[in-house]
Structure 1
Amino acid sequence: MMQHLNGGITRDMPIPPKRPALTSIKITPVPVLGKFRPMVGKCCQQCTPDSLSRHSKKFEQSPYLGFSNILCVNETHTRYRGWLVRRICGVLFVCGCKVYPSHANSREERVSGSNRVREALAADSKAPEAGDSQGQLHPLSSFRPVINTCISPFFLRCVGWAMMKVFESVFGSIQVNLNHLTALCRASEEGSLLVYVYVRQSIVDNIILSLVLFFNSLRVPYAICPVQITNSFLRSILQKIGMILLPSSAATEEEAEMDNLYAPVMTSLIRELLHEGQALSVGVSAESGQGGQWLGRIRQLIKDGSLPDISLVPVGISYDHLPENHMQVGCVFRWLFSLLWKKPAGIVRVHLAQPFSLQEMSAPGRCKVDEWRSLKDLLQPVILNNSAESKFGQRKVSWLWLSHSASDTTEPNHQGRELSAAIAVHLIFSATSCMAVMPTNLVSSLLLYRHRTTGVSTSRLCRDVAWLTDEFLFRNKDVGFGGNLAEVVHYSLVHLAPHLIIAAVPSRQDPLILLRPTLDATLYLDLQAQIVTHTFILEAVGACALSSMLYDIASSGISCKVRTDSADGDEVKGALEFDMVLCQSELTKRALQLCHLLPPGFRPPCQSPQSFALNAIDSLVQCGVLITEEVERENPICDFWKREDALTWTTTDEPYQSDSDCEEPESCVYKISQPNHCPDMLLFLCNMLAGRLRALCWTTAFLEQLRTPLPEAHFVTQLCSHLCDTANKKKRHYESCSPEAARAAVGTLIDLGVLLKEPQEGVVVLGVTPVYQEPKNIAKLQRFIQQYIKALA
């Protein structure tokens, strides 16, 4: 389903005033970027076909309603009119929003009397003797304020109005897709229990989601806050608007999970909230694994029969100017109120995807976790033994489960935890897929991945933005802008100006735009460009596999033709040329090995790695980098009449057999396209993954000079320092030293069997396994990773 774009830039999208560095920029206007806007946020056809068919009908029946800015409140949003109403319309609007109050009442008794909590208290050495009813609540005293969290209509309206005023100074607009809200209202009217899942990006994600639902008269969810708040007054306010905070005795979420009572109490609290008909919102992170344990607890409640079913709603929140994310919570409100006298700094686009049934997704045959294999089994034979055969299987993500409690019985078996991890990864992918691409995302990716060394003129940048926008719309990816291309590019340059060098001289008609070669500038643009990498992940994997193969060919001196499998090749020594033939099986094998190294969330776990690798190579054909060439043979591939014994029919009970199963697999070869833009396109795609692969390579080198075991927090801190020092020595590649890249590298090395993660004396420690304590094995691992980024060195 397609939706029409607005005629100009989004109505509520303000254009900031020009900065002095941009006053000399003159861009020739061009036509509208596009005429259609794709519909995003549909359910997975493979994992939840029933939910897809049920909610697609509701989407198709709804007319196109466009987007609404929840910060743009005037007298038309109230029942009254007049001079006074125009000045207090925000108060009247907030008072008119529907509130679903929720009181704690006897929730504490129900939670403490649940079987999970009783068993945990009995197993806890600190628990008092049985029969002392008053003493049994003593171990739960630190959890009492968390259990008694409620939603007060008065406090919700007051905080909602205050945050609306604050966000008016922070963001230009917060836009929400009204079509998605219509389908969500219908699901809520049917009595579905809703759990909103979003990817953690900033400290205001929870507040924005709650504000969107509150201003549209939907049930405000109980939001799980993973950050410790020490101020008692602030804690009491937040607990009256549905914020489930960490216990005061725990400084971090990891420390809270180490408590033997935390997991049973939180599981019982979720059960009671959902029994009351309340909604929940959970943030998940692919780098740290935080948030996945909450989804596992909800799934276990359904498995135990405590709950009938849950509707999961992936939420995509896009920023074109990311808020400050590395500050203490006590400074957050001071930072917000300091912006009351500043001008808006960006736009937020919120997409609420189609709800889908958790019970349907957990049904046997949906997420086939029994076919999952550890990354150690998949890649270690290739790395250490140089095995030519690639093992097939889905990568097992063991570190995504955050809970380390010894008494945590939420997922008693490994298969249950793997299923919960698969659902968490699928939700990360779904939430990321429905995020809108903002104009700063496009410009950041072009400056960082395509024009980093030489810079780009404004006219060339406009052409690249127009081309990249068409590619996004072709891939059914929504964009958070529309209208005149010149205004969109200028808007992006205004927001990115602190991180750019804009050189305007009289001799040049177009100013030259360069990325500032600093750590902060590179990390900011890399964070903005991540959504582009997610969209082009197929092409990026295929390009890295192709680059690896071309580098090996160039190193060997072969340059003209290389034919394998069924065709004998010609080898000509000399300079590297584009007139060569590449084997499909070798390209697919390299793409398959690379896709195992991708962090969780880049591809859905319901898609097999083999299919992903084949699609990655095919995507290079679609974007014009490769050209399919038929291998010379006596009979063409398509000539079935002259082929003897070509069809081999088989009998099987498999219902999903197709006509192509009776044919022998045919090998395919490719040639590199000749257009001039092909090398630039190949480097553009390879640079998207180079930062993470380089961080993984630097991390393996760091293991040789590190004394382990170390606590996980200290390990990550020292690793980030090492990555920054390495980038400073090279004076480049600063995108490889971000905290997100460091955590992703640690998670990959844990799955690969290089690092061993064990809880010891209340903390989690990381140590190098004996196999990789040998320098030769570390060198083999480095060579394996470097093959994908050697051409970019």
Structure 2
Amino acid sequence: MKTWVCDSGQKLEIFIPFLCKYRPLTGRCCQTCTPRSWDGFYHAQLSSLGFRSAAQVTEEDTRYRGWLVRRLCCFLAVWDWKVPADTPRDLPERVCRSRRVRDVAARQARGSGGNSESRRGWKEKALEILAGIQAPLSLPVLRLCSWVLLRLLSRLFLSVQLHRGQLEMVLRAATTVRSPPDVPLVFLSTHKSQLDGLLLSFLFFSHGLGVPRVTVGSLNCSPRLRALLRCLGGVFLPVGMEQTSSGQDGGLPAAVLASYVEEVLRSRQPLLIFLEEPCAPRYLSATAQEWLALVLRAVRDSAVPDVLLVPVGIAYDLAPDSLQGSGAHGARPLSLSACLWAACRALRRRLGCARVDFAQPFSLQEFVTKTLSRQSSAGKPPEELLLPTILGTHSSQPHSERAEPEGPAPGTAPGSEAEAKLMVTRLGLHALSDSAACSAVTAVGITSALLLHKHRQGVLLSRLMSDFVWLLEETLVRQHDVGFSGQLRALVWHSLALLRAHLTLYHLAPLGDVLVVPEVSVEARWELGQHSAALLPVFASEAVGACAIHALLLEMLPFLGVASCPASITLSQDELLHKTLLLLQLLPPSLLGLQPCQPLDHQSQDILDKLILCGLLEAEELENERWQCDPAPKPFSKRQPWAEMDFTDSDSDSDSDSEDVCNRCFKLREPEGSPGLLLFLCRLLSPVLQTYARAAAFLEQPSWPQPEAACAGALQQFLAEEDGLERPTQSLALSTLRTFKEMGVLEEAPSPAGPLLHLTEPFRSSEGRGKLRAFIQQFLQP
């Protein structure tokens, strides 16, 4: 491992992995947004501490030794776990005495005449709201449920992997005396299954991080299940705030919730916030924005001096999705008996391995300060960037900056609600990108990506194993870790066994090999696509560049000969950067796993560099460059090659150099050892682009205008009917609607029943909608 300092001042860590001998310690914080946190709580030695399985408890995890201890070690270990920080006993009194709650109560008392009954009534109502949000931890129930969960995890998974170095990093952040002191930890996690809350709470409790307060999102629970989750550390939004947007005044429930979050942070209890919903991955949920706004408000109001944010990534070979669809979004609440029945059904099969990763903690105050300092450099909105290109009304290059999502009006005062909402969105999207970047890639994900995007017609097991090694090395080179280790043949057979329901295996006795053929059913494509989506953040830059190359090849196709080979095709750097910028402006960074704080021109140039490094592009040298860089001796001549070079400090040199750089050309080539890489990268991004193309076809529906919620539901139903899927990708559907609103394809119009979405003037005609579909389909690889 070596550290280099580039010209821009950023530190770059270079390592050479070889079949998991050197594994990257993922999850370093962003140098652009949090440069001072880059060296905090991180040491290079942490990467060599190895892994441990949190579901395996031995007598080494207890204070006792002996024959009886080895049989009761799980019970003894759970009974010895400590709770470093707990809810204050006078929490109800503190909440009722808070200034925010008293101000809201005073306004309500003035409205009702200020009698004594109303004064007693608001306190009872505040305590009732607080009881619905949380409950004191019940240690006997907590230890009993932890013991049951420990036994359940050991049956469900082969192992629950946890990196010792990442755990040590988080423990140092929780226990180190800092300036300012009493800085709490807030964990921002991805959400793959409804089991995630219990799993992370168990890991924190068993490794000395305390019992976290886990935010429960849109899960519809029965009263008994809700009471049990509150005793285990779950916190819920008040009933009145679940349908209230963050920009509206929630009255007394909002004041009680804000005061409660401040008290949790003051007592240094860890707070766990899920950034997404299991049914909508890589899409920042509304409940996550509510909780992030409360944390940001607590820091802004100086309730705590600062907050350390820790992104968390979760990866499963097979996600325990038995609870999904049972009551997460249905009308019938999820009951305690339904959870027990789902756990019993899950015990019938093994789900492979699970992996939890912690990223480097970073300061919320530093993130806010850096973000505000860059606020003045916001780019143009996508409506001014993409619409002229789509409609063919411009002739210049697109702008290389994207506008910040949902920004405030130009005349908005600092510290307003619009500015706070913008900061919450930036923070949530950045944390979602960090959590996805630190998540490990599973063996099932690699195998699914190979079967779906490279070997759709079937592949021999020997070829699948060689491609598995290739994709594993490519993943490690891009500083993404994998959640497995072991012998190659055992790993491939392990992933094939977990995907057995969607594969057909033929044993070829004469060859001594096995033919693996994926099924052509819709359900099989859906299952393989869900697993292979974990590789998109790893190869997102190369996939965007490959789709840009595909769009250029489509434009060049009428001018190419029949016998043209890829080595004879030359691509211009200007045209390639132009297509790359267009695709980056179309797709949200959260879907691609890219950092939203990086300018698009930097990202496009980085994509071009990665295409060169992976071998898809080769720079074409000019004759004068070959002559000047050739060290071979030349015959003596009066005219030397350096005689025409100008060494004066004039601006003409920089202009000519920049013109030469902009006029560079590249040859398309096939990388050695990676046949079909261009097609694989295009197909990796094709599910996202296909959803955008089908959403453009959805605009042909005559039901305009309509509310946004109804439009999202109709779009999901349209995608399900066209694909034949029972569970359409909700995150892609919501992302397409947001993108169309930002582009100016859809706009909101006020009405007595609420804002309605309708098509803008250019896209009310079939010609405009056809141009939109053609623009998206140029990047799409069938």
- For the criterion TM > 0.5, the same-fold answer is yes
CA contact (8 A) 1:220 1:279 kept: yes
Q: Which residue number in structure 1 is paired with residue 358 of structure 2? A: 352
> In 2 relative to 1, CA 546–647 (structure 1 residues): closer, same or farther, beyond 3 Å?
farther
Query: What is the aligned counterpart of 1:397 among 391, 405, 428?
Result: 405
Higher mean alpha-carbon deviation, 416-425 vs 106-115, is at 106-115
Deviations 1:210-250 (A, max 9, x none): 11111112122111101344422222221122200233567
Give secondary structure in 2 for the equivalent of 1:542.
Answer: helix
Residue 428 (structure 2) aligns with = 424
2:326 aligned partner? 327
1:595 shift after superposition: 1.1
* Cα offset, 1:321, TM superposition: 0.8
Aligned residue among 385, 388, 391 for 1:381: 388
Q: Distance in 1 between matches of 2:716 and 2:109?
A: 38
Residue 220 of structure 1 corresponds to: 211
Provide the residue aligned with 1:11 in structure 2.
none
Within 5 Å, give how 1:662-681 maps onto structure 2: 664-665=658-659, 666-667=661-662, 668-674=664-670, 680-681=676-677
Paired residue secondary structure (2:315): strand
Distance 1:423 1:697 in 2: 29
Q: Is the 8 A contact 1:195 1:311 kept in 2?
A: yes
Amino acid at match of 2:34: T
Assess if the C-alpha contact under 8 Å between 2:310 and 2:360 holds in 1: yes
Structure 1 residues 114 and 85: CA distance shift in structure 2, 3 A: same
SS of the residue corresponding to residue 386 of structure 2 reads helix
* Matches of 1:643 and 1:281, distance apart in 2: 65
TM-score, normalization by structure 1 = 0.84
Give the AA of the match of 2:422. E
Deviations 1:593-621 (A, max 9, x none): 11122233221122111111111122111
Match of 2:587 among 598, 601, 604: 598
Unaligned runs of 5+ in 1: 3-31, 402-408, 560-572, 651-658, 729-733
1:491 is aligned to 2:491: no
Q: Distance in 1 between matches of 2:192 and 2:430?
A: 17
TM-score normalised by length of structure 2: 0.85
Q: Which of 28, 43, 46 is the equivalent residue of 2:32?
A: 46
1:298 aligns with 2:295: yes
Structure 2 counterpart SS, 1:88:
helix
Q: How does 1:244-283 map to 2 (within 5 A)?
A: 244-248=235-239, 260-261=250-251, 262-283=253-274
Q: Secondary structure at the match of 2:447?
A: helix
Does residue 307 of structure 2 align to residue 310 of structure 1? yes
One-letter amino acid of the structure 2 residue matched with residue 777 of structure 1: G
Amino acid at match of 1:557: F
What secondary structure sits across from 2:314 in the alignment?
A: strand
Where does residue 241 of structure 1 map in the other structure?
Answer: 232
Matches within 5 A, 1:637-786: 641-642=642-643, 664-665=658-659, 666-667=661-662, 668-674=664-670, 680-728=676-724, 737-756=728-747, 766-786=757-777
Is the counterpart of residue 72 in structure 1 residue 56 in structure 2? yes
Secondary structure, aligned partner of 2:30 = coil
Pair 723,432 (structure 1): closer, same or farther in 2 beyond 3 Å: same
Percent identity between the two aligned chains: 30
1:206 aligned onto 2:197? yes
The 1:104–1:502 alpha-carbon spacing in structure 2 relative to 1, beyond 3 Å, is same
- What amino acid sits opposite 1:422 in the alignment? R
Aligned letter for 1:296?
A
Contact 2:504 2:518 in 1 (8 A): yes
Aligned letter for 1:244?
A: V
1:558, distance to aligned residue in structure 2 (A) = 3.5
SS at match of 2:187: strand
Quote the offset at 1:378 in angstroms.
Answer: 2.4
Counterpart Cα distance in 1 of 2:516 and 2:685: 23
Q: Contact 1:195–1:313 at 8 Å: present in 2 too?
A: yes
Contact between 2:46 and 2:166, CA under 8 Å: does it hold in 1? no
Closer/same/farther in 2, CA of residues 305 and 646 from structure 1, 3 Å limit? farther
Distance (Å, rounded) in 1 between the aligned partners of 2:106 and 2:647: 69
Shift of 1:193: 0.8
Cα distance change of structure 1 residues 721 and 636 upon mapping to structure 2, 3 Å threshold: farther
Which of 282, 285, 302 is residue 289 of structure 1 equivalent to?
285
Give the number of aligned pairs: 724
Report which stretch shifted further, 188-197 or 163-172. 163-172
> How far, CA to CA, are the matches of 2:206 and 2:110 in structure 1?
45
Q: CA deviation at 1:256?
A: 9.4
SS in 1 for 2:310: strand
**AA in 1 matched with 2:79:** C
Q: Is the 8 A contact 1:522 1:735 kept in 2?
A: no
Give the equivalent residue in structure 2 for 1:36: 22
In structure 2, C-alpha distance between the alignment counterparts of 1:429 and 1:396, rounded to whole Å: 16
Q: CA shift at 1:55, angstroms?
A: 2.1
Task: Spell out, residue by residue over 1:149-190, the C-alpha distance to the aligned partner (whole angstroms, 9 max, x if none).
Answer: 332322221221121122222222211111111121121112
Deviation at 1:633, TM superposition (A): 5.1
Describe the shift of the 1:489–1:148 C-alpha distance in structure 2 as closer, same or farther (beyond 3 A): closer
Question: In 2, are the aligned partners of 1:370 and 1:415 still within 8 Å (CA)?
Answer: no
Residue 533 of structure 1 is matched in structure 2 by 536
2:134 touches 2:236 (CA, 8 Å); kept in 1?
no
Structure 1 pair 674–64 and aligned structure 2 pair: CA distance change class (3 A): closer
Task: Tell me, in whole angstroms, the C-alpha distance in 2 between the residues paired with 1:509 and 1:155.
Answer: 55
Check the 8 A contact 2:311/2:359 in 1, yes or no.
yes
Which residue number corresponds to residue 179 of structure 2? none
Map of 1:517 onto structure 2 = 520
Name the CA shift for 1:305/1:456 in 2 (closer, same or farther; >3 Å).
same
User: In the aligned structure 1, how far is the partner of 2:199 from the partner of 2:110?
Assistant: 40
Report SS of the residue matched to 1:314.
Answer: strand
In structure 2, C-alpha distance between the alignment counterparts of 1:113 and 1:647, rounded to whole Å: 73
Q: Pick which of 763-772 and 272-281 moved more.
A: 763-772
* Kept after mapping to 1: 8 A contact 2:91/2:263: yes
Counterpart of 1:504? Answer: 507
Report the Cα distance in structure 1 between the residues aligned to 2:111 and 2:512, rounded to whole angstroms: 77
Q: Please give the alpha-carbon distance, in whole angstroms, between the structure 1 residues aligned to 2:72 and 2:81.
A: 15
**Other structure's SS at 2:595 match:** coil
1:203: how far off? 0.8
Deviation at 1:45, TM superposition (A): 2.0
Q: Distance in 2 between matches of 1:712 and 1:142?
A: 33
The verdict on how the C-alpha distance between 1:215 and 1:662 changes in structure 2, with shifts beyond 3 A counting, is farther
Matched to 1:287, the amino acid is: Y
Q: Could you tell me how far apart the structure 2 residues matched to 1:126 and 1:737 are?
A: 50
Q: 1:256 to 1:62 in 2, by over 3 A?
A: closer
Cα distance in structure 1, aligned partners of 2:597 and 2:31: 10
Distance in 1 (CA, whole Å) between partners of 2:292 and 2:655 is 39
SS at match of 1:51: coil
Q: Distance in 2 between matches of 1:176 and 1:245?
A: 28
Alignment-derived partner of residue 611 in structure 2:
620
Q: Which shows bigger deviation, 186-195 or 105-114?
A: 105-114
Question: Could you give the per-residue CA deviations for residues 525-582 of structure 1, whole angstroms, max 9, x where no partner exists?
Answer: 212112211100110011000010011100x3245xxxxxxxxxxxxx9757540211
Structure 2 Cα separation of the partners of residues 244 and 97 of structure 1: 22
Q: Which moved more, 1:208-217 or 1:44-53?
A: 44-53
- Aligned AA (1:346): G
Amino acid in structure 2 at the alignment position of 1:595: L
Shift of 1:709: 3.4
Q: Distance in 2 between matches of 1:40 and 1:88?
A: 36
1:362 aligns with 2:362: no
The answer to whether the aligner puts 1:231 opposite 2:222 as a matched pair is yes
Give the aligned residue type for 2:704: T
Q: What are the Cα deviations for residues 9-34 of structure 1, in whole angstroms up to 9, with x where unaligned?
A: xxxxxxxxxxxxxxxxxxxxxxx943
Cα distance in 2 for partners of 1:759, 1:433 equals 39
2:461 maps to amino acid: T
Which amino acid in the other structure matches residue 70 of structure 1?
Answer: A
Q: Structure 1 CA distance, aligned partners of 2:754 and 2:338?
A: 28
One-letter amino acid of the counterpart of residue 549, structure 2: L
